[in-house]
């Protein structure tokens, strides 16, 4: 039974005040707060179980290695992946997508080859592909969303030509909340022999994900949005793509042997994990994912759907607010502008005075902002610990902002 008050009690920061008001934290799309279990795990790892991993033969190194390596299995379970060797541990989505761009895409793409992107990608799933455009003459092809913010999978498939080498799309828009039918994209793309990379940074937070069923080639997640530490994350790389991929970064842990004349790499996935990793961050991520699975992904999704419906109804009552992204099954992410007034930054400053934390700006989604004809929006993004009362607090604060700016 999902009990939001019980969950809130697990997140100590939610009990604090900001500007003399109870904190209403609605900036979860940027980064989520951490449960006590994660905070305790970090403290415990540093105070009782810390050493470098993989290399040592002493007790603490073996213990830290065991704890760290166990997270690979936790992530595999969380993502519905049977073979955990397809999980590369890293520092987050940006690291994962850059690894694929440098290690897999660059060596196999030439001038005139094409990468298909949706217009609602985050810069982390745009800029690495611009590197290939700048350096190798790869062509970026953009697929628009409709007026509701829906991405038609067929439009993505129809954009494929014989020069298409990759499709890179988000599973859930960080601005619009749109969920994308990535299974349909994977099925259609694979029929035409085109690999698919999915940016799962937002989706994995809000819904159950089953990658073995989805069949994508690459799926990136980032720990700090999953109630885990910043500097943790992973990317799923399907076995055949792992064999094709070259290492992006070189250094310790990704090698078996190094001499003056040659280097022999470790087996994947370690071949792609150079240097001392975020040991404690990764251990914390494992605890965060266990926490989420303990609550239940379907229960989290159901609670957030309720918040979405309630927020949608309340915001619809403010006829001076314009919300971007209106697909019916969207996530509880609301990007909006206020009629006749105020830059998004000014609105967010007023909300902050009321203890309500939202994001304001372009949300690292330049092409989408161009598509919408906007330079900035305010974004309220909800998490499993938010409540209907917090939706009300947001609406009250918006009414105040409107009074001030009208
Ligand atoms: N992709 C999406 C959809 C995001 O929302 C974010 C974070 O804002 C990222 C990628 C980048 O994640 P990170 O900065 O943790 O690498």
Q: What is the pLDDT of residues 31-79, one digit of tens each?
A: 999 999 999 999 999 999 999 999 778 999 999 999 999 999 999 999 9
- Rounded Cα–Cα distance for residues 348 and 24 (Å): 13
Q: Find out whether 313 and 89 touch, Cβ atoms under 8 Å.
A: no
Q: How many domains does the chain have?
A: 2
Residue 232 maps to a domain? yes
Q: What residues flank ligand 1, with Cβ below 6 Å?
A: 92-94, 122, 124-125, 170, 174, 199, 201-202, 222, 224, 364
Residue 35 maps to a domain? no
Query: Per-residue pLDDT tens for 68-122?
Result: 999 999 999 999 999 999 999 999 999 999 999 999 999 999 999 999 999 999 9
Question: What spacing in Å lies between the alpha carbon of 243 and ligand 1's midpoint?
Answer: 26
Q: What's the pTM value of the predicted model, to 2 decimals?
A: 0.98
Q: Which domain does 384 fall in, by range?
A: 4-30+296-405
Structure tokens at 148: 């509701």
258: β partners: 263
CA 127 vs CA 11, 29, 41, 131: distances in Å? 34, 20, 34, 6
Among 29, 120, 124, the mutation site with the greatest number of ligand 1 atoms within 8 A of its Cβ is 124
Q: Which of 205, 195, 142, 196 is nearest to 173 (CA)?
A: 205
Determine the number of helices (DSSP H) and then strands (DSSP E) in the chain.
Answer: 16, 17
Confidence tier at 341 by pLDDT (50, 70, 90):
low
Question: What spacing in Å lies between the alpha carbon of 288 and ligand 1's midpoint?
Answer: 18
Residue 348 maps to a domain? yes
Among residues 186, 216, 364, 378, the one annotated as catalytic is: 364
Residue 53 maps to a domain? yes
186 is catalytic: no
User: Do residue 186 and residue 222 come from a single domain?
Assistant: yes
Among 93, 176, 235, the mutation site with the greatest number of ligand 1 atoms within 8 A of its Cβ is 93
Q: What is the pLDDT of residue 340?
A: 72
Question: What spacing in Å lies between the alpha carbon of 375 and ligand 1's midpoint?
Answer: 19
Looking at ligand 1, which atom is closest to the CA of residue 96?
16
CATH code (residue 279): 3.40.640.10
Q: Buried b vs exposed e over 78-109: b needs ≥16 C-beta within 10 Å?
A: bbebeebebbbbbbbbbbbbbbbbbbbbbeeb
User: Do residue 138 and residue 269 come from a single domain?
Assistant: yes
Mean pLDDT across the chain: 97
Looking at ligand 1, which atom is closest to the CA of residue 92?
16
User: Do residue 235 and residue 307 come from a single domain?
Assistant: no
Q: Find out whether 136 and 109 touch, Cβ atoms under 8 Å.
A: yes
């Amino acid at each position: 039974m999902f009990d939001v008050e019980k969950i809130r009690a697990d997140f100590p920061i939610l009990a604090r005040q900001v500007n003399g008001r109870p904190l209403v934290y609605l900036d979860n799309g940027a980064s989520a707060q951490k449960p006590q279990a994660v905070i305790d795990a970090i403290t415990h790892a540093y105070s009782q179980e810390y050493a470098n991993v993989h290399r040592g033969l002493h007790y603490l190194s073996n213990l830290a290695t065991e704890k760290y390596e166990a997270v690979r299995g936790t992530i595999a379970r969380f993502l519905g992946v049977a073979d955990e060797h397809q999980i590369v541990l890293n520092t987050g989505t940006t690291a994962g997508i850059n690894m694929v761009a440098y290690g897999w895409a660059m060596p196999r793409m030439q001038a005139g080859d094409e990468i298909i992107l949706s217009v609602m990608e985050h810069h982390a799933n745009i800029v690495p592909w611009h590197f290939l455009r700048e350096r190798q003459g790869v062509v970026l092809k953009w697929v628009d969303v409709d007026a509701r913010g829906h991405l038609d999978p067929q439009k993505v498939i129809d954009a494929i030509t014989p020069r298409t080498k990759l499709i890179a799309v988000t599973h859930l828009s960080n601005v619009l909340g749109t969920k994308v039918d990535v299974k349909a994209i994977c099925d259609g793309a694979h029929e035409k022999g085109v690999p698919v990379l999915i940016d799962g940074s937002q989706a994995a937070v809000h819904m159950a994900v089953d990658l073995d069923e989805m069949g994508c080639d690459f799926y990136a997640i980032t720990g700090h949005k999953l109630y885990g530490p910043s500097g943790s994350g992973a990317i799923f790389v399907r076995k055949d793509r792992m064999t094709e991929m070259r290492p992006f970064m070189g250094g310790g842990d990704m090698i078996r042997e190094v001499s003056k004349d040659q280097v022999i790499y470790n087996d994947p996935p370690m071949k792609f994990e150079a240097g001392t990793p975020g040991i404690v961050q990764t251990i914390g991520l494992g605890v965060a994912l266990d926490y989420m699975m303990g609550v239940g992904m379907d229960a989290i999704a159901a609670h957030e759907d309720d918040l979405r419906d309630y927020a949608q109804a309340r915001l619809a009552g403010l006829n001076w607010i314009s919300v971007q992204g209106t697909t019916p099954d969207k996530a509880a992410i609301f990007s909006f502008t206020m009629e006749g007034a105020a830059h998004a930054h000014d609105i967010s400053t007023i909300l902050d005075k009321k203890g309500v934390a939202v994001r304001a700006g372009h949300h690292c989604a330049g092409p989408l902002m161009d598509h919408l004809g906007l330079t900035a929006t305010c974004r309220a993004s909800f998490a499993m610990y938010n409540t209907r009362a917090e939706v009300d607090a947001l609406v009250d604060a918006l009414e105040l902002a409107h009074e001030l700016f009208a």
